[in-house]
Homo-oligomer: A and B are copies of this chain.
Amino acid sequence: MAEFKLTREFVDHIKQKIEIKDEIRILEDIQDLHPADIADLYRELDLEEAKYLYLIADDETAADVITELDEDERRRLLSALPSEVIAKRYIDKMESDDAADVLGEMEEDRQQEVLSHMEDVKSAGDIADLLNYDEDTAGGLMGKELIKVKESWNVTICLRSMRRQGEELDEVYYVYVVDNDGILKGTLSLKRLLLSPTTRTVKDIYNENVIAVNANVPAEEVSAIMERYDLVALPVVDSIGRLLGRITIDDVVDVIREEAEKDYQLASGITDDVESSDNVWSHTKARMPWLFIGLMGGILSSMVVSQYEGLIGLNPQISFFMGLIAAMGGNTGMQSSAIIVQSLASGNSGLDSTSGKLLKELAVGVVNAAVLSSVIFGYNLIKGSDQALTYTVSIAMFSVILIASLFGTFIPLALKRINIDPAVATGPFVTTLNDILGMLIYFTIGTFCYSIFL
């Protein structure tokens, strides 16, 4: 199967075939596509076209495609279908973690209705269990499908039991070893099983060094552990160590990307996960609040500057460098915050204490401040700006860079301590605060310098 690239031609072709209800041709065209590719195709269809495609697709494919859709697209489609169809045609065919995710997006009444229509009572029970976990925890990420064997079994019994347990599973990466109470003891790799004589006991060949997490561990921590230890699957246990389920790397890759993107979004002033293909209203909703904060900050900053109307009227040159001072404060603060935010996120912040980090930032800040304020001092000298302005700009820049570095380091660390996402510190809110502070410093120093030199 080659990689597939959705084209406008292909979409138009399918739309046309849907219009004339050419079922066979459509099924031929999509039969070799991966569900992720079919989901892309759905995004380009209107609701009626999408429904038609759903009705003609086989249940397995339809269930996979539903899993691949974005939340709002899935909701739009499922709300148009009766609970019984959803239960029997789709939910029954999904892995338990995907099924719980899809059901978790519905109203509680609807969830009950769908679950009551499921034919496989055991899976319905598994899904109901999974719905109890917060979606941002290990319990919310895990699936119930796994193969477990007892430590007392031999390889032959193991293989026989695995054949039975494995029938409904897509892929098997690890076999979990439990004792008679269901407590997780370790893992058995398929490779090890294939290489061992059939009379060996599981006890002798399994790997005891298994990393497991409790069901209430936050999703971020799950992704950090799997990334750090290069795991493809991670078992989840309850408080006394009984095996509850497993988390697979593909679900965690999504968490890792979302985490990293969230930081970037906060830094750029976007709430929620808007994509360029979303509508104008979603964009406005995600972006307006931050712009409003910027507006309020700008008004506050205008109030600060208005206190110095007299100074500016007499020496309009002082206003030339307002933008420079504000920008340098903003840039420096953002850099310092971003470095701390990334270290906190990757867990690579080392053993330095808060005061150690502030001291290092102070050192970096002094170097940057000294170099840059010397350059601007030289510039004003060569340009022949008056003495008061030359000193005001350089001293203010030195102070602003230093203060912004310290603020930029301190704020994310403080936010982290009170359990607020430290990435907020790189967003418009703190940049705006930096602007206001910058203007206050600039004009305070300006007032002082102009009173000395003039």
A-side residues, CB < 8 A to B, are: 1-3, 6-8, 11, 32, 34, 36, 43-44, 159, 162-163, 166-167, 169, 171-173, 189-191, 194-195, 208-211, 213, 225, 227-232, 249-250, 253-254, 256-257, 260-261, 263-265, 267-270, 274-277, 280, 283-284, 287-288, 290-292, 294-295, 297-299, 301-303, 305-306, 309-310, 312-313, 316-317, 319-328, 331-332, 334-335, 337-340, 342-343, 346, 348-352, 357, 360, 363-364, 367-368, 371-372, 375-376, 379, 401, 426, 428, 431-432, 435, 439
Contacts and interface: CB of A to CB of B under 8 A. Distances in A.
Contact of A306 (B169, B250, B317): B317
13 contacts: A159-B194, A171-B191, A173-B232, A268-B338, A276-B357, A277-B350, A277-B352, A290-B331, A298-B321, A313-B316, A322-B323, A327-B431, A331-B428
Contacts of A2: 211
Contacts of A302: 320-321, 323-324
B319 A319 contact: yes
A112 to B, nearest CB: 30
A364 B283 contact: yes
Nearest to A259: B260
B280 A364 contact: yes
Contacts of A191: 166, 169, 171-172, 190
Contacts of A171: 173, 189, 191, 232
Contact of A316 (B169, B213, B309, B342): B309
A352 B6 CA distance: 12
- Name A's interface SS: helix
A375 B335 CA distance: 31
B284 A331 contact: no
A7 B351 CA distance: 7
Contacts of A295: 324, 328, 372, 375-376
Contact of A261 (B7, B166, B260, B298): B260
Contact of A283 (B264, B267, B339, B376): B339
Given A260-B257, A264-B342, A426-B268, A367 B280 contact: yes
A233 to B, nearest CB: 9
Contacts of A8: 351
A195 to B, nearest CB: 5
A374 B272 CA distance: 25
A323 B435 contact: yes
A264 B257 contact: no
A371 B316 CA distance: 31
Contacts of A439: 323
A36 to B, nearest CB: 5
A309 B298 contact: no
B351 A6 contact: yes
B379 A299 contact: yes
B324 A34 contact: no
A295 to B, nearest CB: 6
A122 to B, nearest CB: 20
Contacts of A364: 280, 283-284, 287
A305 B317 CA distance: 9
Given A171-B189, A268-B334, A274-B339, 4 more contacts: A34-B229, A284-B367, A306-B317, A327-B432
Contacts of A232: 171, 173, 232, 249-250
A275 B343 contact: yes
A253 B249 contact: yes
B270 A348 contact: no
Contact of A260 (B167, B264, B312): B264
A162 B322 CA distance: 71
B376 A277 contact: no
